[in-house]
Chain A
Amino acid sequence: MAQAAPVIQPDLELAYEMPEQATLLTDAWRRIRRNRLALVGMVIIGILFVTAAISIVWTPYPTWLQAVGPTYQPPSLGHPLGLDQAGRDILSRIMGGALITVEVGVGSAMIVSLIGIPLGLLAGFYRGTVDTIISFFINIWYGIPDLLVALILVFVLSDALHLIPRGVFVIIIAFSLTRWMDVARLVRGQTLALREREFVEAARMSGARDFALLFRHIFPNALGPIIVQATFAIPAAVLFEAFLSFLGLGLPSPTPSWGAMAADGYHGMDFAPHIVLAPTIALSITLMAFNWVGDGLRDAFDPRMRR
């Protein structure tokens, strides 16, 4: 197979009948609607966002308020999810945790994209030295346990820079600094392929500057895969936050992080399992929903992937 014979590729664009006036998003929506798992995922994410929004203005009890009843009290009518080891209302804390989860997930996805997209565009578009440098970093970071670097970064950022208290922001920054490579690598690949296409050539011929080429012509055409990648960054970030907080290295104590709540309940697991079950189930369902939607989006944005 030294010299592969040229294979005639069937023109997929022609074979696929375009519906009238379908933009990227409406087209994807039309396909994702048929994906039952993705729809269930979207409903769950919807509930998560609404819960998070409600928890800003109202929770049954303040999330930090201790001793609203007997400690370790199992679920009852007054407290549907029971009370934890400090007598805090678990339902309120789960609601507050939803807000933290949304903040960490969405914030990380945004910052990862903000770092990854420009770097990927630059590497793919200018190639040469720029690409070599950026790809070098991407490859190095792929060979290391990034989660542990992020863990150390959280520690260093919160201790060394006294400006930032250890909060959601530090976790988002640490996560993003170690995870932008996924997006950058994807965008770089897309850009490398797109910059050779005729429409980019045409735009260049009509005098478009590099900036316009990148952001008006190449970026919109790479948007589908970028959205998918960003969606998958959300559960990764949520899991990272839970992982840190569970180990006691994440958000400080009164913050109702699901990971920290699981760690609280972990010690009284044999006689009060409800404390540990509530946050871990909430976390698992959330991660599941984001993964389902991510899978659905991937299929929706790339019709060729479908069987």
Chain B
Amino acid sequence: MTLTLDQLPDLQACTVTQIAPPANAPEWHEWLEEIGFLPGERVMVMTRAMPGGDPLVVRVGSSTFALRRVEAACVQVATEPGMAGEGTA
């Protein structure tokens, strides 16, 4: 199963592998890339809104974005072994 950004625990760093937009919003692919969600970029979830955990605060590169859960679910990621915690270098 593919891991997506919304499924990650908070503060776990990972790398974007690709963007998979929903069928009814193909333009999200471009939009997410434009704000920095590009393959190879380091991302992590900083925190989530209460209640319901939606939307999420996401760190990409050195910037911070608020994404709804459906948007974060378009960002497919891979965790790197031996890389946990706050290291976003």
Please determine whether chains A and B interact with each other in the same assembly. no
Residues of A within 8 A of B (CB): none
